Amino acid sequence: MKACSHISQRDPFVVALQAAMLLLVAQIGFSAGGDFHAGLNAYRSGDCPRAAEVWSKHSQLQPASGTFINLGLAEWHLGRRGPAVLAWERALWVDPFNADARENLRFARKAAQLEAPTLTWFEAASLWLPINAWALVAGISLWAAVAFVTLPRILRWRRANWQQALAAAGFAIFLLCLPSLYGINTRSRLGIVLEKETELRLTPTRSAQTMMLLPAGQPARWERARGEYLLIRTGYGQGWIERSQLGLVCPK
């Protein structure tokens, strides 16, 4: 009763705004869950194109590891290897401990004779935690260390050994997180070639010389962009491809 009276005393506009926000959040959550199960039903009834379409839209609305795994399965059964590999890579991006995504990628790369992305040591280290956990740990450790150094001075507390130790530990954790944060940044430039026999061009022009044909599902690193073309680096070499032919694991 008290709570009701408290609400009733509030500004009606604020109350209406809060209610609308709650409804919107609930609607998004309900819609996402409904779409996911609609995709499951379509897939189980053999309608893979419909399932892929539903999960693709759903993954844009709310990226989720399960959605990406299922999207990859639907794409794989449709014979679209590039989008399938991209979906599973995104599932690993969301959840680096997802065994299904890892196994599916192994299967796809063995079946289609594809390369796996070559990761540097700091990129491999960035797989030890979810991508946003590194930023969280780094932020907390840094500012905790700063706090333990500065707050005793600010608040004129007596300096204690435990404060120094915690500050040192915080700085150490922060420094250990830096390579992984850099690794996440470089991994975000990883992409997957979507179409089979994608032409790797010497120059970013339509009439450029074709250096080689890349298979669908081939990993590549985005170096820079020029117009409608991207300069990518693959295990086969460096060259230009059209923007629409490369799907980034972390879309910009």
What's the CA gap between 148 and 127, in Å, rounded? 30
Q: What is the 3-state secondary structure (H, E, C) of 27-61?
A: HHHHHHHHHHHHHHHHHHCCCHHHHHHHHHHHHHH
Cβ atoms of 230 and 240 closer than 8 Å: yes
Region of 5-13, 91-99, 161-169, 238-246 interacting with other proteins (CB under 8 A): 91-99
Asked if 146 touches other proteins (CB under 8 A), the answer is: yes
Q: Tell which positions 175-234 bind other proteins, by CB under 8 A.
A: 181, 184-185, 188
Select the residue interacting with other proteins from 5, 46, 154, 207 (CB under 8 A): 154
How is residue 54 written in tokens?
């539903």
What's the CA gap between 193 and 219, in Å, rounded? 6
Hey, how many other C-beta atoms are within 10 angstroms of the C-beta on 17? Answer: 11
Taking each helix axis from N to C terminus, what angle separates 81-94 and 48-61, rounded to the nearest 10 degrees? 40
Asked if 159 touches other proteins (CB under 8 A), the answer is: no
> Please, what is the minimum distance in Å from the beta carbon of residue 226 to other proteins?
22
> Please, what is the minimum distance in Å from the beta carbon of residue 236 to other proteins?
23
Sheet with strand 198-201: strands edge to edge: 210-214, 198-201, 237-242, 229-234, 219-226, 190-193, 246-248
The contact mask relative to other proteins for 162-181 (x = CB under 8 A, - = no) is -------------------x
Asked if 16 touches other proteins (CB under 8 A), the answer is: no
> Please, what is the minimum distance in Å from the beta carbon of residue 44 to other proteins?
8
Hey, how many other C-beta atoms are within 10 angstroms of the C-beta on 55? Answer: 29
> Please, what is the minimum distance in Å from the beta carbon of residue 21 to other proteins?
15
Q: Rule CB under 8 A: which residues touch other proteins?
A: 32-33, 36, 40, 43-44, 62-67, 69-70, 73, 76, 90-91, 93-95, 98, 100-101, 103-104, 106-107, 110, 130-132, 135-136, 139, 143, 146-147, 150-151, 154-156, 181, 184-185, 188, 249-252
